[in-house]
Amino acid sequence: MRIEIGPNEQGQRLDKFLRKYLKDVPLSAIFKALRKGDVRVNGAKGKEKMFLQEGDVLEIKYLYSKSPEEKKVVFDVEPEFKVTFEDDNILMVEKWPGILVHKDQEGKDPTLTDQVLSYLFRKGAYDPKLEKTFSPSPVNRLDRNTSGIVIYAKNYEALKTLNEMMRDGRIVKNYIAIVKGRIADGEYRAYIEKREDNNVSSVSDTPGPMKKEIAMTVKTMESTGQYSLVELNLLTGRSHQLRAHLASLGNPIIGDKKYGVKEINNFLSNKYDLNFQYLYAFKVTFKNPDGVLEYLGNKVVAEKLPPILKKVKNDLFKFDL
């Protein structure tokens, strides 16, 4: 088997590339082949922790896998998202409630990622049959019933850069939410623990072996006392973080069926047909981007509130944002 490394494979460690490329080959067989010298890079024995460069040629003996054409499928899902921003490296789309970014354990329903891959395939920006291991991937994720901006990397270099920026806190994600009651402005920190059996997270002020630290900042934009319109800055990225954290403070997000107040949710459902949490990822700021994304400068990308969220906000606060 002969493989030439392209731009979407470069920079990967050899062992990680092989694990992705040979998905149906046991790991023990892959590492045995590396030890025996059955994987060669540019004619020399491949070392598992070496990094691949564009133009490198891999020769693999005695390991057989389905061809990329057999392993790949053409995604034929109808794209239903709104494109917020797109260039050669990144795609930012507006996710709507009711759809997952990634497949869950059941994996039955098409995901936002399926829609994105279908969209890119149709416009000729992605062909799964031409890729060895890379697939356009999301950099952030939103809960099933949270709406707003999701960022996708269209190539490996963009994905690597975006992931580094995310780890360094150089991708700032801001949300708009309506919460119960009043909440003081400032930074909030706590610890979260997720129960896998019921997919519910609990928040406390004390650390623990199964708990992860969470942090957010809150800025009140308007308040009636009964409700507050707030802007949230997500400082850490944990599942259900904002929803569970705000609920633990006594300020659950309205419309949130898992962490919210039933009476408020029923009112919103009956009056506005709002059956999901009022949490919208409306703005992304790229701080000091580098590498292949350096050209973005300190770009800010934002979306306006969807009509149903704008209607609820205008009715509750009697002003137009």
The Cα 279–Cα 244 span in angstroms is: 12
Note the residue count of the chain: 321
- Phi, psi angle pair for 113, to nearest 5°: -65, -40
How many Cα neighbours within 13 Å face the side chain of 72?
Answer: 19
Q: Rounded to whole angstroms, how far apart are CA atoms 104 and 106?
A: 5
Q: Distance between CA atoms of 122 and 72, rounded to whole angstroms? A: 16
Beta bridge partners of 302: 283
Alpha-helical segments (H) within the chain: 14-21, 27-36, 68-71, 112-122, 156-167, 241-248, 262-272, 307-317
Residues 6+ apart with CB under 8 A from 255: 264, 265, 268, 269, 274, 275, 276, 277, 278
CA distances from 183 to 70, 216, 234, 283 (A): 54, 13, 16, 21
Q: Which are the catalytic amino acids?
A: 143
Token code pair at residue 264: 């408020």
- Contact call for residues 274 and 234 (beta carbons, < 8 A): no
Q: Among 223, 213, 209, 312, which residue's Cα sits nearest to residue 269? A: 312
